A and B are shown apart, each in its own frame.
Chain A
Amino acid sequence: MNGRELIYEAVSRSLVDCELTIEDIDAIVIGNMDHFESINSADTWSVEGSGGVMKPIMKINTGGTTGTSVAIAAYYHVASGIFDRVLAIGWEKNSESDTTGAIITCSDPIWDRFSYSGAIPSLATEAIGYLKRSGATQEDAARVAVRDRTHALNNPYAHLRKPITVQDVMESPMLAYPIKLLDVCPRSDGACAVVFASEEAARRITAKPAWVTACSVRHSLSWFGDFDFDAGLLSLARASREAYEKAGIKSPPDEIDVAELYLPYSYAGLKWIEDLGFCPQNKAPEFVWSGATDMGGRIPINPSGGVISTNCIGATALLRVAEAAIQVMGRGGERQVPDVVNSLATGFGGCFWSDVFLMSSCMP
């Protein structure tokens, strides 16, 4: 299957699901990491799969946040009142390139490319900073990977659907201290398509839409050395605070019923949930071990299995939005969290930047 065919499968299924045809779509926002497949005009190259022939198309690539940027741009298109039905598409065929080599080409060619070795080492340095500050252990992080991989068993679309234990994680090969093979996301092929519709158009598609209540974006730096490894993930803290304020959420763990978080590695499932205000600083290990983030817990995280189970990069953050929408719409099947009113999706990428997307079953 080639990239266009992959995109077509996601788009055609989303249209069937909405009982729409491609003629009903007013505009398309599409995103991937175009240099991964070395196809630099992916928006035009993919039109036969996206359905974009003779339609307005916007291509977006913001690194790991591509999928949430696509969702947010599609939302802006509809919220502006200019378009009624906009198709948001994210996709990636990681199998068509060396992912780490491709990621290295995102870094500065003069200064960073010589020593940089892809996503893992900069995350490893962040993890070391967090372990030092919080007193958390490698086993605490492993518990996050075990949770996500366990949740993936409920998701027929997940890439890795094999249960693992904390011991399995601890015994898996060390990639870059303290990150081991089972702490980190795989390279997946995949595509995701989501229809964004105006209030009136949404009501015609479904009796129970997922309403967007807030979205917020904080992109920061592009030099790896500019990131403060001793601090929290500032971009996520700032973006989530702004989104909570817009949506009127005062106590996130009490008012958000489920979260689909872009956690590319296990340590993020500790540090970043503190920055999201789910638990106090340095208390994430306790919070995660208590089962609060498991299915049936206080705030289940990643019922889909998350990024550690499936990572088709340009689609990854859009999958968070799609999965969070599915939860609000009550269409999660075996991965459904009961009685969801508010759901949260996040995107992470580039040089430690963040997108936050909030949805609700109640129209704002």
Chain B
Amino acid sequence: MKPSDKQAELLAITFERAMPYEWSVGKYGSRFFQEIREHHRFVGIRCPRCHKVYAPPRRLCGPCFAEMTELVTLSDTGVLKAFTVVNYPFLDPNSGKNRPIPYTYGYIQLDGADSIFSHIVNEIDTSKMRVGMKVKAVFRNNADMKGNVEDIKYFDLVDP
């Protein structure tokens, strides 16, 4: 008998198993989180060729293709360089669940650094935010720190 496709159902298959990964932070990145835990401040690294200070610190300066070793101690403050309020729902690959919205995604230049650091700003009212505002990091309690980027809870706006 010939199979009929007249009544064929079109099926989709869903897989929902966890498949964990493990990533190395690198030696300077690890130092960044240690500095937060021990001193509640940031650390950057200076390129020997272009003298740009990167924070968080990384081992290599891309434009110069040069290795960096000179760590630079920074504070816990910076300047808001750009921001947007995220207002649409989406699945967060870190958790497998929808990320809570709205929240403000901010580009922060830490004081003493030349690079920009992306993190969350603790304000969702766009009328209260503007590019160039001072911001200050709010850290987790030491007991709750895990050595990852969430050891910084968010950045607070500092009144001018």
Contact = CB atoms under 8 A, between A and B. Distances in A.
A349 interface: no
A115 B153 CA distance: 11
Nearest to B55: A225
Contact of B82 (A109, A128, A174): A128
Interface string B86-129: 11101111100001000001110000000111111000001000
Indicate the member of A100, A105, A176, A179 with the most B CB atoms within 10 Å.
Answer: A176
A121 B92 contact: no
A110 B105 contact: no
- Size class of A's contact patch? 35 or more
Given A110-B29, A174-B87, A226 B115 contact: yes
A338 interface: no
A98 B90 contact: yes
A101 B90 contact: yes
A229 B107 contact: yes
A138 B111 CA distance: 32
Nearest to B150: A114
A115 B23 contact: no
A224 to B, nearest CB: 5
B62 A221 contact: yes
A117 interface: yes
Given A112-B118, A223-B115, A176 B88 contact: yes
B56 interface: yes
A227 B99 CA distance: 25
Interface string A108-141: 0111111111101100110011001000000000
A95 to B, nearest CB: 9
A117 B131 contact: no
Nearest to A128: B82
B92 A101 contact: yes
Contacts of A128: 82-84, 131
Given A117-B86, A225-B107, A110 B91 contact: no
A37 B84 CA distance: 28
A175 interface: yes
B10 to A, nearest CB: 9
Interface in A157-215: 173-177, 179
Contacts of A173: 87-88
A175 B90 CA distance: 11
Interface of B is mostly: mixed
Contact of A177 (B85, B118, B119, B131): B85
Contact of B93 (A105, A174, A175): A105
A104 interface: yes
Contacts of B73: none
A184 to B, nearest CB: 10
Nearest to A101: B91
A295 B84 CA distance: 34
Most buried by B among A110, A116, A120: A110
A100 B105 contact: no
Given A125-B83, A176-B87, A110 B149 contact: yes
Contacts of A115: 105-106, 118-120, 149
A176 B21 contact: no
Contacts of B66: none
B81 interface: yes
Interface in A83-110: 98, 100-102, 104-105, 109-110
Given A110-B29, A117-B105, A221-B62, A176 B86 contact: yes
Contacts of A224: 107, 116, 118
Contact of A226 (B84, B92, B116, B148): B116
B88 A120 contact: yes
Contacts of B86: 117, 120-121, 176
B87 A175 contact: yes
A200 B87 CA distance: 54
A114 B93 CA distance: 9
A104 B118 contact: no
6 contacts: A114-B150, A120-B88, A125-B83, A175-B88, A177-B85, A225-B116
Given A113-B93, A176-B87, 16 more contacts: A98-B90, A100-B88, A100-B91, A113-B94, A115-B119, A115-B120, A115-B149, A116-B118, A117-B90, A117-B105, A125-B105, A128-B131, A176-B86, A226-B62, A226-B116, A229-B107
Closest 9 CB pairs of A and B: A225-B116, A124-B84, A101-B91, A125-B82, A100-B90, A98-B91, A176-B84, A121-B105, A175-B88
